[in-house]
């Protein structure tokens, strides 16, 4: 019998990674889909009149085995993939898409859901039950349940094709990232690079039996080179390689895929009676409409653009004065920004890194979680893992009861996609009177320890770790009845609040003193460095804001219109970027073809949500600052009203319960230095 279709005989019912073979997945998926269909049949063939319990609740608890197998498989496809896993992903994605459509287009099931929905006023439901009922009904109506048969079939075909295109898009990016390497043999070519980055590049070359240094498009290799390498021509070469992923008119080209995805999403929205894909998506967001998103982005653009232009001019003047650079190019940005930051604040990442040994930063995040929410993190070796580098923890509350299982995976590998994310292997829910606790994971790509140094993080990486850990706390502290409303299952423009708010603690002296200790001497980070970190926090904030807004506007330009008129991806992108451009365009580069957030991940029509959530997190953190950053009362309100509630209520309602008022954008503008106090 397939291990994946059985109850796992493991501590806390954790995934038995070492016992799962790749060939187990396909048969396990097929069996789980079959069983899930039986569960649906039980609901639809029930002779009793539809009730909340026998229809809505039963539906939410159905397919648990399939969800579990899916989470294990697709998390591996992101963090520890190989050709076989990618092949299975291509085969299984259409099956899952079809199964999902089998449910949403099941007329008998929808009849029952609709019957309960129409009785809603008489049912005396709790807030959570009422939210679940709305969600289930919309899950059908927004996926075609009210459509005639021919249109339902068309919808199925679109969904099937979209699921394959999104996978192919991601595979192309991973293949592009893996196939590029810049092999350097002259010491002059790595001039300016910090010792740690140089040593990592040397180790990579050694691992491939080569002399010298190898630089790749993986972030821990790419970012230091773009920030510190003195050789401008090599920075240009690397920058152009990074910017042309999926844009080389070869077998890994994504231009057609981008056009197809945008058009299929538009057709899907139209089928369902929405004007555009953005209108469809935003109905289920705090922002509600594309018009609101556009005005939100443009309002921030008006505030940030003058500062951004001024900052860019200052940077251009600095590069010209320093090295005679006539026109500042994209491959100069990080390099001269770092030099200017060092000049203005006498601060650079290399100065800070010795104080941010990875293990200490992890302990720091744990200590913050303990001080705020009373959590304890106990390292354990009894829990199976998918790679030897993964660390596993039992998370306990003040009474010693299990809150969550936590996996942490920090270093780049060839089978792991770039970036950082939080995910889950098992959701929290209350079923049959048992509060099932979640299994949560964070995945990052930090510099590996070398022969002479431990893994030392840049300050930006410290905030990344805290960010993902904030998402993890949202998952860990979930305390809802229904799995589909649990943890991070919230509106996408609300999901970044717990992650982004946690970054704020990284700038506070009270926090830094807990963990920022020199890896060799144990000396606590000096006060003047903390002051410099805070002073530098708003450095080039106008330019950073403009960059984020440009991504949000690009996203809306693909999804807030009828895309069938677009024939040239690059030209369309250039138009979308017109109001936010600072640097000259690079003709060989295109962002859309590697914009995985919107074409592979779930951020289509949602990239604005990073900025939206910044408004929330700045406003929420001001509350902590007023009362004390480790104030138990405020932390408890945040835990009770935000972290534990998941998607059980409207996010604005939850936010107001925590804060006592709606969020005000002034807090963000103050923090960003774009508005005086």
Residues serving a catalytic function are: 468
As beta bridge partners, residue 402 has 396
Residue among 389, 426, 425, 435 nearest 408 (CA): 389
Length of the chain: 677
Report the C-alpha gap between 273 and 481 in whole angstroms: 33
Reduced to 3 states (helix: H, G, I; strand: E, B; else coil), residue 186 is coil
Are the CB atoms for 26 and 91 separated by under 8 Å? yes
Distances (CA, A) of 305 to 291, 292, 297, 549: 20, 19, 11, 10
Are the CB atoms for 498 and 470 separated by under 8 Å? yes
Report the C-alpha gap between 256 and 154 in whole angstroms: 21
Distances (CA, A) of 302 to 20, 307, 542, 579, 674: 53, 10, 11, 10, 11
DSSP 608-663: THHHHHHHHHHHHHHHHHHH-TT-HHHHHHHIIIIITTTTSS-HHHHHHHHHSS--
Report the C-alpha gap between 534 and 538 in whole angstroms: 8
Report the C-alpha gap between 375 and 368 in whole angstroms: 9
Residue 553, classified by CB atoms within 10 Å of its CB into exposed (0-12), middle (13-18) or buried (19+), is buried
| DSSP-H helix ranges across 45-145 | 58-61, 64-79, 83-104, 107-118, 127-141
Instruction: Sort strands 439-443 and 402-409 into parallel, antiparallel or unpaired.
Output: parallel
Torsion sign across C-alpha atoms 396, 402, 404, 409: positive
Distances (CA, A) of 144 to 100, 132, 161: 12, 19, 16
Give, as one character, the DSSP assignment of residue 56: I
Report the C-alpha gap between 338 and 466 in whole angstroms: 23
Reduced to 3 states (helix: H, G, I; strand: E, B; else coil), residue 253 is coil
Which single residue is written with the structure tokens 């604040």?
Answer: 345
Are the CB atoms for 124 and 230 separated by under 8 Å? no
Q: How far is CA 636 from the centre of its chain?
A: 25
Distances (CA, A) of 549 to 123, 553, 673: 44, 6, 17
Instruction: Sort strands 402-409 and 391-396 into parallel, antiparallel or unpaired.
Output: antiparallel
């Amino acid at each position: 019998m397939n291990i994946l279709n059985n109850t796992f005989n493991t501590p806390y019912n954790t995934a038995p990674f070492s016992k799962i073979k790749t060939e187990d997945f396909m048969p396990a998926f097929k069996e789980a889909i079959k069983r899930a269909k039986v569960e649906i049949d039980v609901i639809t063939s029930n002779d009793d009149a539809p009730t909340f319990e026998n229809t809505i609740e039963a539906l939410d608890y159905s397919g648990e085995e399939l969800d579990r197998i899916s989470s294990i498989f697709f998390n591996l496809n992101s963090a520890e993939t190989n050709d076989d896993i990618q092949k299975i992903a291509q085969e299984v994605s259409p099956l899952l898409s079809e199964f999902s459509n089998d449910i949403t287009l099941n007329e008998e099931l929808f009849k029952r859901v609709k019957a309960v929905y129409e009785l809603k006023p008489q049912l005396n439901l709790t807030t959570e039950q009422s939210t679940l009922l709305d969600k289930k009904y919309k899950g059908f109506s927004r996926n075609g349940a009210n459509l005639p048969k021919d249109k339902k079939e068309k919808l199925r075909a679109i969904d099937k094709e979209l699921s394959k295109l999104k996978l192919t898009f991601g595979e192309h990016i991973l293949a592009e990232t893996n196939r590029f390497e810049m092999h350097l043999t002259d010491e002059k070519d790595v001039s300016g690079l910090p010792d740690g980055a140089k040593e990592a590049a040397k180790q990579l070359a050694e691992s491939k039996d080569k002399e010298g240094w190898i630089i790749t498009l993986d972030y821990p290799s790419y970012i230091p080179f773009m920030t510190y390498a003195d050789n401008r021509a090599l920075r240009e070469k690397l920058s152009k390689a990074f910017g042309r992923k999926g844009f080389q008119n070869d077998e890994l080209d994504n231009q057609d895929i981008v056009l197809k995805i945008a058009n299929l999403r538009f057709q899907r929205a139209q089928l369902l009676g929405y004007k555009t894909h953005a209108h469809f998506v935003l109905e289920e967001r705090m922002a509600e409409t594309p018009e609101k998103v556009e005005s939100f982005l443009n309002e921030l653009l008006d505030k940030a653009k003058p500062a951004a232009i001024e900052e860019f001019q200052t940077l251009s003047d600095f590069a010209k004065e320093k090295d005679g650079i006539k026109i500042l190019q994209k491959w100069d940005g990080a390099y001269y920004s770092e030099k200017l930051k060092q000049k203005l604040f006498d601060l650079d990442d290399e100065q800070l890194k010795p104080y941010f040994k990875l293990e200490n930063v992890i302990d720091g995040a744990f200590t913050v979680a303990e001080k705020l929410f009373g959590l304890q993190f106990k390292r354990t070796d009894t829990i199976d893992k998918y790679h030897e580098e993964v660390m596993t923890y039992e998370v306990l509350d003040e009474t010693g009861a299990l809150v969550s299982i936590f996996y942490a995976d920090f270093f780049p590998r060839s089978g792991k996609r770039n970036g950082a994310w939080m995910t889950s292997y098992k959701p929290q829910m209350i079923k049959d009177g048992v509060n099932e606790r979640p299994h949560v994971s964070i995945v990052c790509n930090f510099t590996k320890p070398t022969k002479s140094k431990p893994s030392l993080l840049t300050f930006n990486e410290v905030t990344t770790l805290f960010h993902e850990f904030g998402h993890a706390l949202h998952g860990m502290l979930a305390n809802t009845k229904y799995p589909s409303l649990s943890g991070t299952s919230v509106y996408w423009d609300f999901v970044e609040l717990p992650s982004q708010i946690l970054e704020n603690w990284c700038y506070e002296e009270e926090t830094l003193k807990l963990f920022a200790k020199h890896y060799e001497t144990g000396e606590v980070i000096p006060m003047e460095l903390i002051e410099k970190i805070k002073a530098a926090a708003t450095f080039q904030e106008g330019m950073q804001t403009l960059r984020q807004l440009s991504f949000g506007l690009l996203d809306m330009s693909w999804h807030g219109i009828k895309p069938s008129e677009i024939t040239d991806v690059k030209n369309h992108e250039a138009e979308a970027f017109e109001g936010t451009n600072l640097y000259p365009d690079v003709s060989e580069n295109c962002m859309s073809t590697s914009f995985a957030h919107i074409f592979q991940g779930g951020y289509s029509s949602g990239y604005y949500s990073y900025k939206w959530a910044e408004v929330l997190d700045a406003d929420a953190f001001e509350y902590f600052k007023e009362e004390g950053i480790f104030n138990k009362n405020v932390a408890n309100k945040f835990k009770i009203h935000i972290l534990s509630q998941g998607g059980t209520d409207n996010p604005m309602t939850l936010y107001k319960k925590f804060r006592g008022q709606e969020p005000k954008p002034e807090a963000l503008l103050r923090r960003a230095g774009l508005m005086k106090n």
